[in-house]
Amino acid sequence: MRRINVDQITDAIARLAQETNYFLGGDVCRILSKRKESESSDLAKDILSMIEQNIVIAGQEGIPLCQDTGVACVFLEIGQEVYLEGGWLTDAVNEGVRRGYKDGYLRKSMVADPLRRTNTGDNTPASLHVDIVPGDKVKIIFAPKGFGSENMSRVAMLAPSQGKNGVMDFVLQTVKSAGGNPCPPIVVGVGIGGTFDQVTLLAKRALLLPLDKPNEDPFYRQMEEDLLDQINKTGIGPQGFGGDTTALAVRILAAPTHIAGLPVAVNINCHVSRHKEVIL
Amino acid sequence: MTISIELPISKQQASLLKAGDRVSISGTIYTARDAAHKRMIEALDNGQPLPFPIEGAIIYYTGPSPAKPGNPIGAAGPTTSYRMDPYAPKLLDLGLVGMIGKGPRNAEVKEAIQRNCGLYFAAIGGAGALIAKSIKKVELIAYEDLGTEAITKLTVENFPALVAIDCKGNDLYEMEKRNDQHSIS
């Protein structure tokens, strides 16, 4: 057994909360810059250029890229050979969120109850997902998720007969009805299969995949390319003001499902698509 | 071309702006989003005054991140406006001139904009660090307990935005109309 003190997890999360909110991943920046070059609308080009300026200012000055510094989504992969000591894991994760959001001047956006709506004051609790995996390491993925785009996300329980076309139609409809609301250009995470609960998590995990690395499954690679093409032909454009760049990428994750079902979920992220991981 | 707007703006000046115009706003604006709007409308329903003079005012839908020492404000981009749609017509009828946010508005808000010759501006969503550069001063006005959702008075200089819905009801989010405008220009 390898012993890991949960304080290490707290420290890592506090650091990741700040880094993810100040610095955007290279994949997003590369696609933004490429899209800006190929945009045919002048207004869209200008908006993409302002988005790039925002990335520079945020990084240089340590100001959050977006004031919505998100729900703290934390994904832990804990090796089965690891013994965690020094406190409870969930407490350690929330302490990391508490510290990172306070020290990093990040916005506290969580309310304790969905209907009575009192702010918890420290952005806890995290949305925490834990998987037990082989090995003796702990992988921590931190992904702050803004709610302008979260609100535009959808789930549907399709019939198997609707197949690939049904899934593609649902994704396209979801993006079209979201329009200018989720701060396009967006990143589209699609989950297909599993159960009602699993499919939404698949869609969220799809947002954690690198945007410029093709899907290993040629079937889904083609589907991602086709969807991206169709989404960018809608003309919604950056911020909903027209243009060729409505989405930067579409990523799909699929899972085994029941003979009677075809669940599909679309989790939309804005261009401030933030996530980072460390391995302890 | 960018049009400079010095606040306060009269209805007559507002009527000259067109959907699609790029503007640079300077002067005083007030922040309010979901929870503050709910409270303002409750105040009105109870016959109480609003916490700031609504006549001629501009409301910015934002919930900024905390200011670092030495800065007036943290990141301060727009939040999605449709959530304020149930509240906006009443405020427009009371004299609110403009709103700054992001994303389309519903038919009731558009009608209220036309009826009162108001304006709806769009700021760039997700450009909170860039927009913060144009905010020079922040003053707490009301509802401090709401934290980031409190009402504050901002002094802005060259705040970058677009006219999204104008006084005649032209809407930059409506694609057909947008395409017509492009073909005309």
Average the pLDDT over A210-220 and give the result. 95
Assign B184 a pLDDT band (cuts: 50, 70, 90). Answer: very low
Residue B1 has a pLDDT of 85
Residues from chain A that touch B146, judged by Cβ atoms under 8 A, are: 119
Q: Does the pLDDT value for residue A97 go beyond 70?
A: yes
Residue B33 has a pLDDT of 97
Tens-place pLDDT, residues A233-244 = 999 999 999 999
Distance CA A32, CA A276 (A): 19
Residue B178 has a pLDDT of 57
Tens-place pLDDT, residues B133-160 = 999 999 999 999 999 999 999 999 999 9
Distance CA A153, CA A151 (A): 6
Tens-place pLDDT, residues A175-192 = 999 999 999 999 999 999
Instruction: Let me know: does B167 contact B20? Beta carbons within 8 Å.
Output: no
Residue A101: phi and psi, rounded to 5, are -75, -30
Residue B176 has a pLDDT of 54
Q: Does the pLDDT value for residue A73 go beyond 70?
A: yes
Q: Scan for tokens 């709007």, then name that residue.
A: B37
Whole-number average pLDDT of chain B: 93
- Record: contact A65-B172, CB cut-off 8 A: no
Tens-place pLDDT, residues A131-189 = 999 999 999 999 999 999 999 999 999 999 999 999 999 999 999 999 999 999 999 99
Tens-place pLDDT, residues A243-274 = 999 999 999 999 999 999 999 999 999 999 99
Closest CB from B63, B68, B175 relative to A67: B63
Residue A238 has a pLDDT of 97
- Record: contact B175-A181, CB cut-off 8 A: no
- The total number of structural domains in chain B stands at 1
pTM: 0.94
What domain range includes position B121? 2-184
Assign B180 a pLDDT band (cuts: 50, 70, 90). Answer: very low
Average the pLDDT over A2-13 and give the result. 98
Q: Where are the domains of chain A?
A: 2-20+65-145, 148-273
Pick from B41, B73, B35: nearest CA to B54: B41
Residue B177 has a pLDDT of 52
Residue B11 has a pLDDT of 85
Residues from chain B that touch A60, judged by Cβ atoms under 8 A, are: none
| Residue B60, domain CATH | 3.20.130.10
- Record: contact B126-A183, CB cut-off 8 A: yes
Pairing of strands A154-158, A262-269: antiparallel
Residue B56 contacts by C-beta under 8 Å, 6 or more apart in sequence? Answer: B8, B9, B10, B95, B97
- Record: contact A67-B65, CB cut-off 8 A: yes
